[in-house]
Each structure stands twice: as C-alpha cells, then as structure tokens.
Structure 1
Amino acid sequence: MMEKRPSTLALVPLMMMMLLLLFPAGLACQNNGGECRSCVVNQMKFGCPTCVPVLRCMARCLWGGSSRLKCVKRCDCGGGNPKLSDCKKCMAPCKCSCMSF
C-alpha cells in the first residue's frame, strides 16, 4: 500500500478551506458548519484580506488539474507579498473540515 507523503497531507486542509471559501454555506458543511465558515470568513475579511486573491488562485489552479508545484509557483505572487505560505499561516486558526460534521 502506498503511504501518503507529508506534502499530500498538507494539501487536504487547504482544499477543504478552498471549498468553504468558494461555495455558499448551504452547500458546504450543511450540518453545524456555521462556526467553521464564520472563522474562514472572518479571517478573510479581517485577519488576512490580502490573501483572498492568492487563495482563490490556488484553488482554481488545483481544481483545474495542475500539479501542486505548478500552482504554488503560479500563485505565490512571484516573491511578493503575501506569499502562499504566509496565507496558509494566516488561515491556520480555522482548523475545520466538513468531515467532522
């Protein structure tokens, strides 16, 4: 059986966050998902609003079927700020998943 690499495991929470950002609350986490959605929305509005374009870029790239490495290079602002890694740190307080609901 093939083991999951750490980079693959790190991608799963990012994808869950992207789902919450791009789909209305009624479609994502229908049962008691309000707290998670509120956390994500508040972080995007107040905690790290400059990350919205970066995270949307990453989501579109990944959902388009491109590799993670290609998406990181494309969406990481070319060395500018904020970097994708900065945005992931900023969103870290919202550790939520539809799987837990």
Structure 2
Amino acid sequence: MEGKKLLNSALGLMLLVMMMLSSMGSITAIACPSNGNGCKDCIVEQIRYGCPSCVPLIRCMARCLWGGAARSSCISRCDGGKPTLSDCKKCMSRCKCSCVA
C-alpha cells in the first residue's frame, strides 16, 4: 500500500512537471490515445526504470510550484545537482504525449 501511495504521488508530480514543460513548448503532443492511458503508462515506466534519479528533482519542482513560487525561482531552487532539470527533461521526453488533452 505504501509503495502504491509513493507511485501515485510520483506520478502526480511528474504530470505537473510534464504540464509545466509542455507549456514552455518543449514537448509536443502526438498521437495520444483518447483515454490518456498511454501517457500515464509511459510516465510511470520512465519514472520506475528510465529516470529514477529524477524523482527527487521532480518532487522538488512540484512542491515549489504548488507552493505558489514562480517557475524561475523553482528552477533556481531545485536545479543544482545531478541530474539537472535538463537531463530529466531529456530522459522524460520519450513520453511525448500531452497528458492534459
């Protein structure tokens, strides 16, 4: 049960970051399934197996943004170590589907 809560939390944070990144025009929406499961499944797989080292950075960004801070200050606060926000963005770019649609 604890693992499922953690996964749901990480997925929620990742969706927030993906929406933030897509608003910057860096991620394009292509051929998304109408129910959105393809996007969710892709993000979950990338978090688990492709980009697990990005989870703390994604969590930091989500907390900062949900706290009402400006995107630039959140980037300054969270993007100081390894991997960088740019590294995580590249890693997660495999999931090109827009989850907002």
What range is the shorter-chain TM-score in?
0.5 to 0.7
User: What amino acid maps onto 2:91 in structure 1?
Assistant: C
One-letter amino acid matched to 2:71: R
Q: Does 1:52 align with 2:62?
A: no
Q: Percent identity among equivalent residues?
A: 62
Residue identity matched to 2:52? P
How many aligned residue pairs are there?
A: 74
Match of 2:45 in 1: 42
Note the 1:1-101 alignment, pairs <5 A: 14-16=17-19, 32-76=35-79, 78=80, 80-100=81-101
Q: How far is the alpha carbon of 1:87 from its aligned partner?
A: 0.5
SS of residue in 2 equivalent to 1:93:
coil
Are 1:15 and 1:59, in contact at CA under 8 Å, matched by a contact in 2? no
Structure number, greater radius of gyration:
1
CA distance in 2, matches of 1:36, 1:66: 27
1:18-41 CA distance string (max 9 Å, x none): 9xxxxxxxxxxxx61211111000
The ranges of structure 1 where at least 4 consecutive aligned residues each deviate by more than 6 angstroms after the TM superposition are none
Equivalent residues of 1:51, 1:87 under 8 A apart = yes
- Give the structure-1-normalised TM-score: 0.64
Gaps of 5+ in 2: 1-15, 22-33
| Aligned equivalents of 1:71, 1:37: Cα separation in 2 | 24
Task: Please give the root-mean-square deviation of Cα atoms over the aligned residues, in Å.
Answer: 2.2
Residue deviations 1:53-101, cap 9 Å, x none?
A: 101110111111101111011111x2x210111101110111122343x
